[in-house]
């Protein structure tokens, strides 16, 4: 399908998160183009201003099964804070979406004081204690995980 055809056709879009950060703008842009939008989030922030948006409330760490037996053209993930969380979501959705887009923040980079950085710049490393085990995960792992397109 040509790029201009994609812009003209109606898409089904799943947005994980969507009520803060960038999500509100994604919803508006999608609706202007007459796309069908579904939000998946915990429902902790107001989404009453979103008309004609399907809302599925759940936690991405325990409720991804609420998305089963559905299909979207694209999933836009706006709220993956930890690489392992994004990995689980991407794996759970790999047969339900044609494309998975993960949007991170500038915080993924180790040093964002230089204005000339790009996706090849050094990334930060997270250190976190979970279940009393300390481990370190590079954000580069997220890039590899999310690079699939069905």
Grouping H, G, I as helix, E, B as strand and the rest as coil, residue 87 is helix
Concatenated DSSP letters for 33-49? TT-EEEEEE-S-S--TT
Number of domains the chain is built from: 1
> Is residue 150 a part of any domain in this protein?
no
- Going through the chain in order, the beta strands assigned E by DSSP cover 12-16, 36-41, 53-57, 72-77, 97-102, 125-130, 133-138
Give the pLDDT score at 51: 83
**Rounded Cα distance, 108 and 139, in Å:** 6
What residue numbers bound the domain in which 120 lies?
3-145
> Is residue 21 a part of any domain in this protein?
yes
CATH of the domain at 18: 3.40.50.720
Encode pLDDT of 42-80 as tens digits: 887 766 677 889 999 999 999 999 999 999 999 999 888
Give the pLDDT score at 7: 56
User: Residue 27: CB partners within 8 Å, gap ≥ 6?
Assistant: 15, 18, 37, 39, 50, 53
């Amino acid at each position: 399908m040509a790029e201009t055809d994609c812009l003209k056709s109606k898409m089904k879009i799943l947005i994980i998160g969507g009520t803060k950060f960038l999500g509100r703008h994604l919803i508006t842009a999608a609706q202007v183009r007459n796309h069908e939008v579904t939000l998946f989030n915990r429902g902790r922030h107001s989404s009453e201003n979103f008309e004609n948006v399907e809302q599925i409330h759940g936690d991405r760490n325990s409720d991804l099964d609420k998305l089963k037996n559905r299909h979207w053209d694209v999933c836009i993930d706006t709220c993956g804070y930890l690489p392992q969380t994004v990995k689980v979501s991407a794996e759970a959705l790999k047969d339900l979406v044609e494309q998975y887009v993960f949007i991170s923040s500038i915080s993924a980079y180790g040093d964002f004081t230089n204005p000339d950085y790009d996706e090849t710049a050094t990334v930060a490393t997270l250190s976190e204690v979970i279940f009393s085990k300390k481990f370190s995960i590079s954000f580069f792992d997220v890039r590899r995980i999310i690079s699939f397109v069905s």
